[in-house]
A and B are shown apart, each in its own frame.
Chain A
Amino acid sequence: MENCYHCGDACADKTIEHQNKFFCCNGCKTVFEILHENDLTYYYDLQANPGKTPLEIEGRFDFLDNQNILDQLLEFNEQDTQIVSFVVPHIHCSSCIWVLENLNKIHPAIKNAQVNFPQKSVRITYNNSEITLKELVLLLCKIGYEPSISLEDFNKKEKKIDRSLIYKLGVAGFAFGNIMFLSFPEYFEVSEFWLDQFKILFRWLMFAFSVPVVFYSGRDYFISAYKGLRSKILNIDVPIAIGISVLFLRSTLEIVMDWGTGFFDSLAGLVFFLLLGKFFQQKTYAFLSFERDYKSYFPIAVTQLVENYQHDQKKSDKTNFSKTEIQTPVYELEPGNRILIRNNELIPTDGILIKGAALIDYSFVTGEAAPVVKHSGDKIYAGGKQQAGIIEIEVTKKVEQSYLTQLWNNEVFSKNKALTFENITDQISRRFTLVILSIAVLSTIFWLFKDLSIAFNVFTAVLIVACPCAIALAAPFTLGNMLRIFGKHNLYLKESLVIEQMAKVDTVVFDKTGTLTTHSKNLISYQGISLTEIEQKVLTSTLRASNHPLSRALYEFLQGNEIYTLDDFEEKTGKGISGLYGNTSVKVGSYTFVGNKNLISETETTQVHISINEDYKGCYILHNNYREGMKKLFAKLSETANLVVLSGDNDGEREFLKSQLPPFSQLKFNQKPDDKLRYIKKLQEQGKKVMMVGDGLNDAGALAQSDVGIAVSEDINVFSPACDGIIDAKKLQGLAQFMSLSRKSIRIIKYAFVFSLFYNLIGLGFAITGNLAPVVAAILMPLSSISIVVFTTISTYLLERKTTFKNS
């Protein structure tokens, strides 16, 4: 079988040959033609099969005609120059960068396009008078780069990137380098003639360089220490702040009184290394968002129907009205408005169904797999996805007040987890600080009696060498490395703190639909009297005519059978379908619909019953498709944690799940989003550390409430609710490995603590005896920092080598 030249998919049903190249569909061929016509075929040379099949877009971007929305989306809008930024999820290789940056070759009105690969975004400068934004978006769609525009882009404020850490690091590094050069002469050539002449200048220059280091670069440590002390926590920043201020004050005093050179180089080095650790820990995945709420999924605008009443004078009892469709931003919807929802569109707010056959998939909100049929007059809640045809809805609530958006008002979404958690470094520092302070006081008291002149020296020296630079570096570097290792294996964590939390987890809660099962094809099995070939063909033809998701799933399963043109077809909503071909009649649907009088035991699985010529044949059973390797994962996880499955679905698969889960695991069915949240809260009140693994919006509350919320995603670019981490669905099996890795990294940190305490003890030896020369501090301090960095880097690397990550 040939693979498509454009998208690389196997050409399943048909192959289109064009210019000696094979394409899987006309869509792919068209993209090739556009690129070929514009001399952009280099696209295919850079990377084989880089493309994506363009999707149907009919009417989906009509909202870009609305001037109001345009104003919100454009970054810059002046006369002939417009600038807009889009997130394009498909950006994945160098070909993508190349073709998007050569957009101007396809359309001359595009002046410039610049791709930001890590963020998967493209920034386009164009001329509004020659190409409208809608045309631009359609052009992108045509070449397979459909931008994702959601409600989140509306009201987009100027993004403020916080670069202050880089500035601080820059200042500290700059000062560190210069101070080192200036301090070197005095370390090696004491009381040399020329040196004695210039040392005053050197010392004051060092002082000048260190002022911005203390008051700008090191500012955060003072603020954090102050905050910690005020809430009675001895965090790691307390001894660091003491260390920095003592270093600065003593050094200043030394040069003022002409006692010595001071410790300016150690001071700048300390701050530089600390900030380096902070910077290293700050790995972010620019293309992922962990703070998503409903806004990322909601459309930016919907089709509103506006009725123009025109009272006809002649026929006073009749009202002529015409409806016009306009695109309205969802925020402007008012109760009473009529909106039009097309197939596969998301319903943005609560309303009442007015017209059309509604088949609404609430899996997004509730986790229930089967869509719900609604009749006109029924209430429809926001977040559902229409599955069949066009429906008309009368809005009853504004978007901000709908049931779904109310869910986001729960306090768990505004709580900051990081603040309620004492990290491993702070735990250590609590004891460490007290010990150091008592050593400093005791040794000073000792020297007060023995030799008054050096008592002050000893006191400050103890505080200087005790500054826990190496301790403060151990966690950032270990966890920062781990974060990168996890990311390489497709578990993307929000911040390194999550790893610490993961190491403590003792209860793992799984959602069922979408987490343990895949969204893709259902497994289907047949039970009953086998069907003849003719019967199968008629059945397939009947299923083909129906739009019900179960029919479609079954049709896909039976596909390959010849299709007849049916003589008769009827669909009874909520019951089933019937078809007639020649003398074979088929009924497909619920148990009672197919006309079987004998009662069979009521089961909870999803079944589609079949009868041929009013004769009951059997049923197709649709199983949820469980991900591979779940049993192994459960077994592995149960060694260290309790397992719970919370499902929004019915309990049809209770027995199956029981067989998969280790004994004593909990199973809960029919759980609404609120129930899940409360269940996790209850576990936490019992002192459990809970990890929630979920996928949909229905888990969003539970993910936020849990200690570690991991979202499972089939496509990391597209969908995930607010969470602490996103795992690629293919890697879910490896969750146990990730958990054990996180526990091991905590062990590495503890070893590193012991290691750095060793350095502190050496330093203390010098300090207590009153022998801490600046040169000793200048050697000891960077040495301890660098060796900790090397130690943690090597051990995390070895850990990664030793772990085998499972893939499915």
Chain B
Amino acid sequence: MSIIYVLITVSVIVAIIFFIAFIYSVKKGQYDDTYTPSVRMLFEDELVHPKNNKKETNNKDLIKTSNQ
């Protein structure tokens, strides 16, 4: 029956690992914004076509001209 010592040790260690994971995630700011990620995950990336390089240069011009 002394196996119970091992079992309890293991289970407490597992619990503590999860607890540390929780504290770590809070500290990293994962719970600071609980709304935006829920919206973000629903965006469909496929709808955006890969852009070509020509447009990029256009945009640079566009921003530069806006600046004057």
In the complex, per-residue mask of A112-143: 1 if CB is within 8 Å of any chain B CB, else 0: 00011111000000000001001100110010
Evaluate contact between A167 and B23: CB separation under 8 angstroms.
Answer: yes
When distances are taken between beta carbons in the complex, the residues of chain B under 8 Å from A40 are 48
Residue among A46, A117, A171, A194 making CB contact with B36, cutoff 8 Å: A117
A201 interface contact, C-beta 8 A: yes
A167 and B1: CB pair below 8 A? no
Check B33 against A116 for contact (C-beta < 8 Å).
yes
Indicate if the CB atoms of A107 and B26 lie closer than 8 Å: no
Q: Cβ of A142: which chain B residues have Cβ within 8 Å of it?
A: 66
A105 touching B51 in the complex, CB below 8 Å, given contacts A116-B33, A166-B26: yes
Instruction: Tell me the residues in window 75-117 of chain A with beta carbons closer than 8 Å to chain B beta carbons.
Output: 94, 97-98, 101-102, 105-108, 115-117
Tell me which of A42, A135, A170 contacts B22 (CB under 8 A): A170
Contact indicator A131/B55 (Cβ below 8 Å): no
Complex Cα spacing A81 to B26, Å: 26
Give, as a whole number of angstroms, the nearest-CB distance from B33 to chain A: 5
A327 to chain B, nearest CB (A): 15
- A170 contacts B19, CB within 8 Å? yes
Interface residue A39 (Cβ < 8 Å from any Cβ of B): yes
Interface range on chain B (Cβ under 8 Å from partner): 35 or more
Bound form: Cα–Cα A791–B20 in Å: 34
- In the complex, the answer to whether B40 meets A161 with C-beta atoms within 8 Å is no
Known: A101-B40, A106-B59, A108-B56. A166 touches B48 (CB 8 A): no
Which residues does chain A contribute within 8 Å of B33, judged by CB atoms?
Answer: 116-119
Interface residues of A in 494-524 (CB under 8 A from B): none
Q: B1 to A166, Cβ gap below 8 A? A: no
Give every chain B residue within 8 A of A163 (Cβ-Cβ): 26-27
* In the complex, B6 has a CB within 8 A of chain A: no
CB within 8 Å for A201 and B36 given contacts A40-B48, A134-B67: no
Separation of A102 and B32 alpha carbons in the complex (Å)? 22
Give, as a whole number of angstroms, the nearest-CB distance from B47 to chain A.
5
Which of A45, A94, A197 sits near B1, CB closer than 8 Å?
A197
Q: Which residues of A contact B60 (CB under 8 A)?
A: 107
Task: Say yes or no for A546: interface residue by CB 8 A criterion.
Answer: no
Contacts of B15 in A (CB 8 A): 174, 178
Q: Assess the A37–B67 pair: CB atoms within 8 A.
A: no
0 or 1 for each of B1-17: is its CB under 8 Å from A? (1 = yes): 10011001000100100
Contacts of B47 in A (CB 8 A): 42, 45
- B7 CB to closest chain A CB (Å) equals 11
Additional A-B contacts beyond A38-B59, A102-B48, A116-B32 (15; CB < 8 A): A37-B58, A39-B48, A42-B48, A45-B47, A94-B39, A105-B51, A107-B60, A117-B36, A117-B39, A119-B33, A134-B67, A161-B29, A163-B27, A170-B23, A194-B1
Binding site for A on B (CB under 8 A): 1, 4-5, 8, 12, 15, 19, 22-23, 26-27, 29, 31-36, 39-40, 42-44, 47-49, 51, 55-56, 58-60, 62-64, 66-67
Q: List 27 A-B contacts (CB under 8 A).
A: A34-B62, A37-B55, A37-B58, A37-B59, A38-B59, A39-B51, A42-B44, A42-B47, A46-B43, A97-B40, A107-B59, A108-B56, A115-B36, A117-B35, A117-B36, A118-B36, A119-B33, A134-B67, A135-B67, A161-B29, A161-B32, A163-B26, A163-B27, A166-B26, A167-B23, A170-B26, A174-B19
9 residue pairs, one from A and one from B, having the closest CB atoms: A117-B36, A116-B33, A94-B39, A174-B19, A117-B35, A42-B47, A39-B49, A166-B26, A118-B35
